[in-house]
């Protein structure tokens, strides 16, 4: 293999692929990134066998096609520390030569034929949705997953795809997120009855891989795995096995609840202030709505007390609830500071629901007032 590459473009693609390679593995070859250089395209591949990625690389002129396995850490450092605009790469399969204007490196390489394959996206039936929206879906759901749950498969995000829409759900048993939005079925693609639970780590990788993509994303769910393609990247992931809770059954009924309009930024600032005196033993912040304001109070025993007031457009009956400020903050962090949302409350013992006008809902269980 011989090629001349634009260093910055190769570095960017290499960093995306390197997110998958494990720092340690019983299979040392997985700690590398495979470069496939063909006459018409060049691809970087990384995998840990559970998750994999293929990234198309631009800015490479291939003089002699071939494959090479690149050591993730050392080759990555060469790309990031070097200042040359272009680098010359040459490999015989056992080692790789990297040459710049005033530098030259030779690195040993493992056999490229032993690197595990990562599937390409060749599906003719799939769902398609905007990349910007899918990134938002991931950002608004992954924080509420539970990677330590043993009863249910909560360590991932549940996807439900219909002919014209997507519903994504995550929960750790104490709060639940739900994001709805548009998704188009291509080739009469329909999901089966099996739950599609994509592991949290795979969803985070997808978000990073699609960070600069403004086009559409294609999702093809198979029996045991899923392929996501967008722009120059294709991500493969095994699906999680196990049961997922019947989340619609636990989503609270909304009739008879008090509705309070809030703005994310000011409310988040008030939550953070009230939480200053809380501790692990007394972590709750009490919220009292009424009289055109909300009063937030924290009680930290030896840490003191807090009292924060925020004007709100609510003149209904006084209502109290105690919430964990960390869980409330997780929801507010993924909204724009100027975004408005509606908090729906019934009483101090019932779950609170926060909803936006763009299909996002967040359910959070209250704490006892002495917590």
pTM over 0.75: yes
The residue ranking higher by pLDDT, 52 or 299, is 52
Choose the final residue of a domain: 114, 136, 170.
114
At residue 152's C-alpha, the angle toward residues 151 and 157, to 5°, is: 155
Report the half-sphere exposure of 157 (CA within 13 A, side-chain side).
30
Instruction: Say if residue 271 is in the same domain as residue 345.
Output: yes
Any idea of the CA torsion for 248, 251, 254, 255, to the nearest 10 degrees? 60
| Number of domains comprising the chain | 3
Per-residue pLDDT reduced to its tens digit, 26-59: 899 999 999 999 989 999 999 999 999 999 999 9
Q: Are residues 261 and 244 in the same domain?
A: no
Tokens representing 357 are 């006008």
Do 329 and 350 sit in the same domain of this protein? Answer: yes
Residues 229 and 172 in one domain: yes
pLDDT in tens, 247-290: 998 888 888 899 999 999 999 999 999 999 998 888 899 999 99
Domain range for 110 is 2-114
- Cα end-to-end distance, the chain, whole Å: 64
Are 14 and 40 in the same domain? yes
In this structure, the answer to whether residues 274 and 291 fall within a common structural domain is yes
User: Are residues 283 and 360 part of one domain?
Assistant: yes
How high is the mean pLDDT of the chain? Answer: 93
Note whether 98 and 104 are within 8 A (CB).
yes
The yes-or-no verdict on residue 317 having pLDDT over 80 is: yes
Report d(CA 328, CA 362) in Å as an integer: 9
3-state helix, strand, coil in the chain (%, to 5): 20, 40, 40
Domain membership of residue 369 (yes or no) is no
44 three-state secondary structure: strand
Report if residue 370 sits inside a domain.
Answer: no
Domain final residue pick, 248, 266, 294: 248
Residue 292 belongs to a domain: yes
* Rounded average pLDDT over 147-156: 87
Indicate if 312 and 358 belong to the same structural domain. Answer: yes
Identify the CATH number of the domain in which residue 230 sits. Answer: 3.10.150.10
Are 184 and 126 spatial neighbours (Cβ–Cβ below 8 Å)?
Answer: no
b/e code 240-250 from CB counts within 10 Å (16+ = b): beeebbebeee
- Within this chain, do residues 208 and 258 fall inside the same structural domain, yes or no? no
**Residue 216, domain member (yes or no):** yes
Per-residue pLDDT band at 370 (split at 50, 70, 90): low
Lowest mean pLDDT among 6-20, 71-85, 298-312, 316-330: 298-312
Looking at residue 193, what is its pLDDT? 54
User: Which domain-ending residue is among 192, 222, 248?
Assistant: 248
Q: What SS3 state is found at 1?
A: coil
* Tokens describing residue 3: 């090629």
Residue 120 lies in a domain: no
User: 97 lies in a domain?
Assistant: yes
The answer on 140 and 231 residing in a single domain is yes
Strand, helix or coil for residue 142: helix
**Residue 195 vs residue 246, higher pLDDT:** 246
Look-up of token digits 């196990």 = 242
Q: Are residues 263 and 244 in the same domain?
A: no
Q: Same structural domain for residues 155 and 234?
A: yes
pLDDT in tens, 169-198: 999 999 999 999 999 999 887 775 567 999
């Amino acid at each position: 293999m011989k090629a001349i590459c634009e260093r910055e473009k190769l570095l960017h693609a290499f960093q995306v692929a390197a997110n998958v390679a494990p720092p340690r593995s019983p299979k040392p070859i997985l700690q590398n990134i495979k470069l496939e250089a063909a006459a018409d395209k060049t691809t970087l591949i990384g995998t840990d066998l559970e998750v994999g990625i293929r990234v198309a690389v631009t800015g490479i002129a291939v003089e002699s096609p071939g494959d090479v396995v690149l050591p993730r850490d050392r080759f990555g450092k060469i790309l990031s520390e070097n200042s040359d605009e272009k680098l010359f790469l040459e490999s015989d399969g056992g080692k790789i030569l990297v040459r710049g204007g005033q530098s030259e490196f030779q690195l040993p390489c493992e056999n490229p034929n032993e690197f595990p394959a990562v599937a390409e996206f060749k599906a003719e039936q799939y769902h398609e949705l905007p990349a910007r929206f899918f990134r938002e879906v991931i950002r608004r759901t992954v924080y509420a997953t539970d990677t330590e749950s043993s009863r249910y498969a909560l360590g991932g995000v549940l996807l439900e795809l219909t002919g014209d829409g997507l519903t994504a759900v995550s929960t750790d048993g104490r709060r639940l997120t739900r994001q709805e939005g548009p998704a188009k079925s291509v080739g009469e693609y329909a999901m089966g009855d099996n739950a599609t639970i994509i592991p949290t780590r795979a969803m985070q990788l997808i978000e990073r891989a699609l960070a600069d993509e403004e086009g559409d994303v294609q999702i093809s769910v198979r029996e045991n795995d899923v392929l996501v393609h967008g722009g120059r990247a294709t991500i493969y992931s095994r699906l999680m096995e196990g049961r997922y809770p019947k989340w619609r059954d636990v989503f609270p009924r909304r009739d008879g609840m008090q509705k309070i309009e809030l703005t994310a930024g000011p409310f988040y600032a008030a939550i953070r202030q009230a939480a200053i005196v809380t501790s692990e033993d007394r972590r709750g912040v009490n919220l009292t709505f009424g009289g055109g304001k909300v009063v937030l109070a924290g009680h930290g025993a030896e840490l003191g007390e807090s009292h924060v007031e925020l004007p709100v457009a609510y003149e209904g009956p006084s209502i109290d609830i105690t919430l964990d400020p960390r869980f409330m903050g997780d929801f507010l962090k993924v909204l724009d500071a100027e975004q408005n949302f509606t908090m729906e409350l019934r009483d101090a013992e019932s779950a609170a629901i926060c909803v936006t006008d763009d299909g996002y809902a967040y359910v959070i269980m209250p704490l006892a007032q002495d917590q």
